[in-house]
Chain A
Amino acid sequence: MAKILYVDADCDRTREFTRLAAKKGHFVTVATSAERAMLCVEREGGFDAVVLHLILPGIDGAELCRWLERWSCLASVPRVVFTGPETELRIDLTHGLPRWLPAHRYLDSVDTMDRIVAELERVLGF
């Protein structure tokens, strides 16, 4: 079992991820923005992984990853970032992530949350 911080502004996707992750025995804390995620980290800490959508209202996912790496107690905790099929990113992140996006995995055009859960478990070594 792992304690996961999931950051996403999309309710349907969040519900689906929480359901699938709980089925696998993981405990999920949800934040709907980067700012709320930062508060969760400050208050709770102790997460085993962070899963986040790159496009968030306000601070974006890349900035949140940098904050997690540089300023939080979760610097070494795996970060899985993704974009949904509705998000068109013009920058190519599929051939390696740039320095300014310090994440461990990137999944693009994610249409089912199974993919995210499977990748998360791979990263966590389950």
Chain B
Amino acid sequence: MKRIYVAATEQHAGKTTVSLGLYRAALQKGYSTCFIKPVGQRYVMAGQEQVDEDAVLFKQALLAEGALKNLSPVTIPSGFTNQYIFNPDPDSIYAPIMEAIRNLEAEHEVAIVEGTGHAGVGSVIDASNAQVAHALEASCVIVAGGGIGRCIDQLCLNQALFERHEVPVVGAIINKVYEEKYEKVSRAVRQGLTNQGMNCLGVIPYRKELTFPTMRHILEEFALEVLCGGQELDNRIRNIMVAAMTPQNMIHYLTAGSLVVVPGDRADNILASINANLMQDRSSPVQIAGLLLTGGFVPHLSIVNILCAVDVPVLLTEDDTATAAFKVRSLVPKITPRDVDKIEMAERIISSHVDVDCIFRAAGLQ
């Protein structure tokens, strides 16, 4: 079984997007393909077992074959690193990974292996991406965030660690390049990487849609409470609006997909937002994603009654408005099994902007 290791220069560079695209491309080319996240840091409970959330994504949304424990053999719980430093036991990490890969190997020609963080992440527990890729005898693709100078600098640094562990680096994929700078960045980064002896496998334009969270994302990420509209939690948030001004001023900032962050006792702005939402039927395009009521305030029950009659999700938080808005803005949403549109988009942009044939050839696939 050929193994393609998807690494990155930093967190949130786009490993999952690339893994999704490569996984689907391999299937389309007729290879029996599996997915594995050997070391996971963000996990969920599946029964009694901790499994990485990316493994759950592949299992649920792409129906990846194999037991979940094979797709996510090792997760790092809180406090593990400190324990490991005083009692190092590499076998406790590598044995389950190698067992999982053996289980998957029996029925698959290619494995898409997703790393975690930059090349050095995991070094403290003897399981950096470079060390794990070496153990798996994988070829490596490195994903970097958009840019020229910083991006190439980081790629060289990461490449050096992979090479130190004798992992063949197929090349780099530059992700999240702004459309308006795409031509310029693409030309420069391709030449810059060639100058450094690295292959540029693709330059992917920034797709804002991939960064839009849903109301469910923020509900789950911040353990909020649903006041009403729980059936509309898949509404996508396109922008975040703090409704701290008077309604007549606030209304101008409402756009389709707005999450209105508003103190729970500002009935005026709450009702103005709902009114704007209802206007959609009268040829106005505003349809808000939802409301986040802050300060631990719940509106008067007569207002709650009105909110319940509108198909808008309303969440509650104890945080003040500024803190709540900051937290939501800082959220980098991971692709989840429910994000069917994002998964399709990830597949499309990888097949159209990345030289997947080159990656498969370098991995030894015909």
A: residues with CB less than 8 A from B are: 54-55, 59-63, 66, 88-91, 98-100
Contact = CB atoms under 8 A, between A and B. Distances in A.
A87 B169 CA distance: 69
Contact of A62 (B228, B301, B309): B301
A90 to B, nearest CB: 4
B304 interface: yes
Contacts of A99: 225
Interface string B213-237: 0000000000001011000000000
Interface residues of B, number: 12
Nearest to B306: A90
Interface of B: 225, 227-228, 298, 300-302, 304-305, 308-309, 316
Contacts of B300: 59-60, 63
A88 B305 CA distance: 8
Contacts of A100: 225, 227, 298, 316
A90 B316 contact: no
11 contacts: A55-B302, A60-B301, A63-B298, A66-B298, A91-B304, A91-B308, A98-B227, A99-B225, A100-B225, A100-B227, A100-B316
Contacts of B304: 90-91
Contacts of B225: 98-100
Contacts of A54: 301
Nearest to B308: A90
Contact of B305 (A59, A63, A89, A98): A89
A63 B303 CA distance: 13
A45 B316 CA distance: 31
A59 B298 CA distance: 11
Q: List the 3 closest pairs (A to B, CB-CB), nearest first.
A: A90-B308, A100-B298, A60-B301
| Interface hub of A62, A90, A99 (most chain B Cβ within 10 A) | A90
Given A63-B300, A66-B298, A89-B305, 8 more contacts: A55-B302, A60-B301, A62-B301, A89-B301, A98-B227, A100-B225, A100-B227, A100-B316
Nearest to A55: B301
A61 B301 contact: yes
Contacts of B301: 54-55, 60-62, 89, 91
Contacts of B316: 100
Nearest to A88: B305
A89 B309 CA distance: 10
A55 B300 CA distance: 9
A89 B300 CA distance: 12
Contacts of B302: 55, 60
Contact of B298 (A55, A62, A88, A89): A62
A46 B302 CA distance: 31
A62 B228 CA distance: 15
A76 to B, nearest CB: 20
A73 B309 CA distance: 36
A90 B298 contact: no
B265 to A, nearest CB: 9
